Chain A
Amino acid sequence: SQKIEQNSEALNIQEGKTATLTCNYTNYSPAYLQWYRQDPGRGPVFLLLIRENEKEKRKERLKVTFDTTLKQSLFHITASQPADSATYLCAPAPRAGNNRKLIWGLGTSLAVNP
């Protein structure tokens, strides 16, 4: 069955450092992959999308890579700030024809310490 794995342990880093979060998938060939941020008590918020033919995508301090050979996506936050503390979810998406359903990872909790 399709499986999405994200770092199960919380990630604690110092302010100003780069946070790197991992998303691995198995038995799956997603056409693209999305990353979301979720704060406690709130719904997820879309951050970035990367297509299968893109190796890297950037948005301000965020960078996502997508390695279809390794079946892995890495999510980087550079110059991290305490406000970046949240849970980050990855969601690979199937190819067209599946009513746009996403499969969700459990998320990785990030804490940025001042």
Chain B
Amino acid sequence: DAGITQSPRHKVTETGTPVTLRCHQTENHRYMYWYRQDPGHGLRLIHYSYGVKDTDKGEVSDGYSVSRSKTEDFLLTLESATSSQTSVYFCATARGESYNEQFFGPGTRLTVL
């Protein structure tokens, strides 16, 4: 276990409200990722970070923003939640060595009503 926690683990919210998901790691890994996983789509990258304050977009970044002010924390914000953002969100980390084994958190199940 790479010491990755996600909070909250479950959340129900209403359309139009902002939501922030937190990922915390204790392994000092350089790379951090936010994915969403939906039936029929598999894991899709939302945003990733390659260092403190260094972030970039993934393939499904619209409607999401991220921040990484410390190595251990990577926050994902849904600026104005929509029902299409109902999903399971996974955070992952990687050391950043040549071959990039990723370590995943337990996931956050988000429901937007």
Contact = CB atoms under 8 A, between A and B. Distances in A.
Q: Do A and B come from one complex?
A: yes
B104 A45 contact: yes
Query: How many residues of B sit at the interface, in one of the four size bands?
Result: 20 to 34
Contact of A100 (B31, B44, B103): B31
Given A46-B101, A106-B40, A100 B96 contact: yes
A51 B106 CA distance: 28
Contact of B92 (A42, A43, A93): A43
B42 A43 contact: no
Interface residues of A: mostly helix, strand, loop or mixed? loop
A43 B106 contact: yes
Interface residues of A, number: 22
A89 B107 contact: no
Interface in A12-62: 32, 34, 41-46, 49, 51
Interface of B: 31, 33, 40-45, 48, 50, 56, 58, 90, 92, 94, 96, 98-107
8 contacts: A34-B101, A43-B90, A43-B106, A44-B102, A99-B31, A100-B50, A101-B33, A102-B102
